[in-house]
Amino acid sequence: MTLSSYTVELSGLRMRAAMFHGPENIVITEKKITKGIHDAVIKVDACAVCGYDARVYRNGHKKVKPPLVLGHEICGMTLQDINTGYGTIRSGSRVAVSPVIPCLSCEFCNKRQYNLCNNLREIGSTDDGGFAEYVKIPQQIIKSGGLVQIPDNLKSEEGALLEPLACCLNGFEHLKIEPESSVLIIGDGPIGLLHLEISKKLYQAKVAVVGKIASRIQCARSNGADGVFMFDDETEDEVMNFTDGKGANTVIVATGNPEALEFATKIASKNSTINIFSGFPNNNNFFIDPNWLHYNQISITGSFSSTPQMLQNATKLASEGKINLSRVISHRYSLDNIEQAILDTEGFRGLRVIIDKF
Ligand SMILES: [Zn+2]
Ligand SMILES: [Zn+2]
């Protein structure tokens, strides 16, 4: 199929999409598929619900201007041959999508740090996302290598989780973890569990998970955590015991609960690094004593989203069986039940929820 015949074929085609109109207002709508000549459209096979989607659903977000289709953890099928500049992805291939739409001309894009683009747009935030039958892939994603073909041994629902896995890998780029050193993950959700698996399998660290949901803490235990702690008044002592009184060498904040920030500063060891992985509700401040940072030589880092290169690395790790993504999937819903899927995510029921019927 040539590009122009494809464009003609798509024009007039309609799709079902979950349209976000504002807080607590999502409506399944019929929508026209539109795209520019150099963009692509993929048919969505699976789109996972992120904590971010739940936050936007409840409160809106300054990046999101409704009406808009949410969903940025996407696996879909190509409908045409796509020349990426790195090679050709054949029509009918399954792909994972980097939701980052870079401008390709700013200082960060020049260094391929597309997630930091000064003119960043994102699928599922500023542009329509994957809670729909089809999603448009802007040409900037194609050119930056953000469409990654996934091998047959990965299910589409696992393909949807390559994006959050890539985000975790981005966080680890800012950490220096030695074998046997201690990693404390604050947050027992799917993202906390992915951090657990990476810390254990790729870094051979001694890992503890702190959380608030008993069933999830149980999951962390069965997924190989060396220590698991329900968050309460005793957790600080428990973590200090776990680390032989030294505190954790690495602390990963994988929850949007502001309590986690202060807690992180209490259990971080000398010379430790704290990574703030999660986004937080607006208007949060957190107090840091500069002398505590200075005298203990603490580093605090943040990480946001990921680059196409990290999505490729995530795909390799998952397809080689080094990271098992299906372990963090608990529920599957059809698009018609998108609100239930979001409420499950918000209510910490199960782990990752996937939309896989459109
Ligand atoms: Zn996400
Ligand atoms: Zn840019």
Nearest ligand to the CA atom of 345: 1
Alpha-carbon 67 to chain mean position: 22
CA 268/CA 215 separation, integer angstroms: 26
Same domain, 186 and 106: no
Which of 263, 287, 302 is the last residue in one of the domains?
A: 302
Instruction: Return the residue matching tokens 């019929």.
Output: 30
CA distances from 139 to 84, 146, 157, 313 (A): 9, 10, 24, 22
The pLDDT value given to residue 4? 44
Which of 269, 285, 302 is the last residue in one of the domains?
A: 302
Nearest ligand to the CA atom of 113: 2
The pLDDT value given to residue 44? 98
Which of 302, 319, 337 is the last residue in one of the domains?
A: 302
Q: Which residues contact 177 (CB under 8 A, 6 or more apart)?
A: 183, 199, 203, 205, 249, 250
Distance from Cα 99 to the centre of ligand 1, integer Å: 9
Same domain, 145 and 207: no
Same domain, 18 and 142: yes
Distance from Cα 249 to the centre of ligand 1, integer Å: 26
Q: What is the pLDDT along the chain (358 residues), one digit of tens a residue?
A: 444 445 545 666 899 999 999 999 999 999 998 888 899 999 999 999 999 999 999 999 999 999 999 999 999 999 999 999 789 999 999 999 999 999 999 999 999 999 999 999 999 999 999 999 999 999 999 999 999 999 999 999 999 999 999 999 999 999 999 999 999 999 999 999 999 999 999 999 999 999 999 999 999 999 999 999 999 999 999 999 999 999 999 999 999 999 999 999 999 999 999 999 999 887 778 889 999 999 999 999 999 999 999 999 999 999 999 999 999 999 999 999 999 999 999 999 999 999 999 9
Give the alpha-carbon dihedral of 186, 190, 191, 196, to 10 degrees. 70
The pLDDT value given to residue 85? 78
The pLDDT value given to residue 9? 56
Domain CATH code at residue 110: 3.90.180.10
Same domain, 310 and 295: no
The pLDDT value given to residue 11? 61
Distance from Cα 101 to the centre of ligand 2, integer Å: 9
Same domain, 38 and 135: yes
Closest to 145 in 3D by CA, of 174, 169, 119, 166 = 166
Q: Please, are residues 211 and 235 in contact by the beta-carbon 8 Å criterion?
A: no
CA distances from 142 to 70, 148, 226, 331 (A): 20, 9, 41, 30
Same domain, 91 and 225: no
Same domain, 143 and 80: yes
Distance from Cα 108 to the centre of ligand 2, integer Å: 6
Per-residue model confidence as pLDDT tens digits over 27-54: 999 999 888 889 999 999 999 999 999 9
> What one-letter code names the amino acid at 168?
C
Domain CATH code at residue 191: 3.40.50.720
Q: What are the backbone dihedrals phi and psi of residue 68, each rounded to the nearest 5 degrees, phi first?
A: -155, 145
Same domain, 18 and 157: yes
CB atoms within 10 A of CB 63: 14
Nearest ligand to the CA atom of 140: 2
Domain count for the chain, please give it.
2
The pLDDT value given to residue 253? 98
Residue 247 belongs to domain spanning: 174-302
Same domain, 235 and 348: no
Q: Please, are residues 17 and 33 in contact by the beta-carbon 8 Å criterion?
A: no
CA 209/CA 191 separation, integer angstroms: 11
Q: What are the backbone dihedrals phi and psi of residue 261, each rounded to the nearest 5 degrees, phi first?
A: -70, -50
Residue 71 backbone class (left: φ over 0; alpha: ψ -120 to 50; beta: rest): left
Same domain, 319 and 230: no
Same domain, 185 and 149: no
Same domain, 295 and 329: no
Nearest ligand to the CA atom of 109: 2
CA 252/CA 255 separation, integer angstroms: 9
Nearest ligand to the CA atom of 54: 1
Distance from Cα 128 to the centre of ligand 1, integer Å: 15
